[in-house]
Amino acid sequence: MSIGIDKLNFYVPQFYVDMAELAKARDVDPNKFLIGIGQTEMAVSPVNQDIVAMGANAAKDILTEEEKEQITMVIVATESAIDSAKAAAVQIHNLLGIQPFARCFEMKEACYAATPAIHLAKDYLQSRPKEKVLVISSDTARYGIQSGGEPTQGAGAIAMLISHEPRILELADDSVAFTEDVYDFWRPTGHKYPLVAGALSKDAYIHSFQESWNEYAKRYDRSLSDFTSLCFHVPFTKMGRKALNSILTDEIDDETKERLTEGYDNATYYNRYVGNVYTGSLYLSLISLLENHHLDGGDTLGLFSYGSGSVGEFFSAKVVDGYEEMLDTKAHQTMLNQRREVSVEEYETFFKRFDNLELDHDTDLAGAQKGIFYLDKIEDDIRYYSTLN
């Protein structure tokens, strides 16, 4: 039985800040951000692109009316929840017009939650060959103006349609998750921004990766030469590279080293221009690999998911022949290329308004794509969404 990702799409807001400009404004050598952290541009959120709007925007163009009838579960993975009780999946289900007899809920474990969501979907679908599950990861990565994490912010959403006979990626039956109680990054209830132990968060990520990979390799008798490419959770592009380099030891042959390194470059191309999208970072990297790297049907990909706190998981998937036809590479490149650069000053204004939920549609919808969903107003603490005509 083959189950996996049948459709895959992402959405990012239409504003970004140049990392060299941000570095200058912070009196930092630009190469620290461009090379040391490995980020070139960073998505900036308009106030009206919350996790519901972005999540619906990621999914809206990939679902047919027939699929909306077949979807019986909608899962939203996020760590930017806008409500402690009501799940964003319920609002997204409504905006997308999915048939009503569906389970809708939110999942949380920092940047990891989309991975248990797709595995849950896979298990759920085993006995339901005609149904489909929509998994969405949607986040606004925010650390605060002039904070240590500021250069690793970003925003965006990924939508994945999980089904039988998938046309992009077949999920294999192998995976190893590793859990460790560590305070590397966390956001106590009521805090606007996460608390982060920067150096510890890098070490905890690498440790989790090594534990997951080593156990996976042992349990399933796999080595790096079995993988065409590896995709990582990418809070910033240098992070996954460090993890990858940590296992490219002297015993690994040069061909494997070169292949995995080249794959990593292409798998982080989009991330470099978007920044951190928390739960979606691994899956943005997957899209980047699929759209910017040569792959063949049957190729095996290794995926490492990580959520601070922490849970890591290594699992594998097989590329389906003809997967290219299921991707809209041109639309993705246009979406990225047509974004508008904002100055550091403008970014700071967006950031403060986002914190205070100060909607300003004239500014926030400038240059936005027609047809997108946006948060229109909040009345009596209820969020109302509209579509841009």
- Record the tokens describing residue 382, joined without a space: 């209820």
- The residue type found at 73 is M
User: Residue 208: is the preceding peptide bond cis (ω within 30°)?
Assistant: no
Which is the catalytic residue, given 41, 106, 111, 170?
A: 111
C-alpha to C-alpha distance for 382 and 143, rounded to whole angstroms: 26
Q: Which CB atom, from 9 or from 39, has the smaller least distance to ligand COA?
A: 39
- Taking CB under 6 A as the criterion, the residue among 156, 235, 263, 312 binding ligand COA is 235
Residues in contact with ligand COA, shown as a per-residue x/- string from 308 to 347 under the rule CB under 6 A = x---------------------------------------
C-alpha to C-alpha distance for 234 and 257, rounded to whole angstroms: 19
- Assess 195 for contact with ligand COA (CB under 6 A): no
Annotated catalytic residue 79: yes
Of 260, 335, 272, nearest to 301 by C-alpha is 260
Annotated catalytic residue 111: yes
C-alpha to C-alpha distance for 52 and 90, rounded to whole angstroms: 9
Annotated catalytic residue 294: no
Which is the catalytic residue, given 93, 207, 233, 332?
A: 233
Strands 311-319 and 340-341: unpaired
C-beta of 201: minimal distance to ligand COA in Å? 4
Rounded to whole angstroms, what are the CA distances from 40 to 20, 34, 300, 378? 7, 5, 29, 34
- Record the tokens describing residue 118, joined without a space: 């797709």
- Taking CB under 6 A as the criterion, the residue among 32, 86, 192, 218 binding ligand COA is 32
- Taking CB under 6 A as the criterion, the residue among 36, 215, 265, 388 binding ligand COA is 36
- Taking CB under 6 A as the criterion, the residue among 164, 202, 257, 353 binding ligand COA is 202
Q: Longest Cα pair distance anywhere in the chain, in angstroms?
A: 62
Interface with ligand COA by CB under 6 A: which residues? 29, 31-32, 35-37, 148-149, 151-152, 185, 196, 198, 201-202, 205, 235-236, 239, 308
**Residues with catalytic annotation?**
79, 111, 233
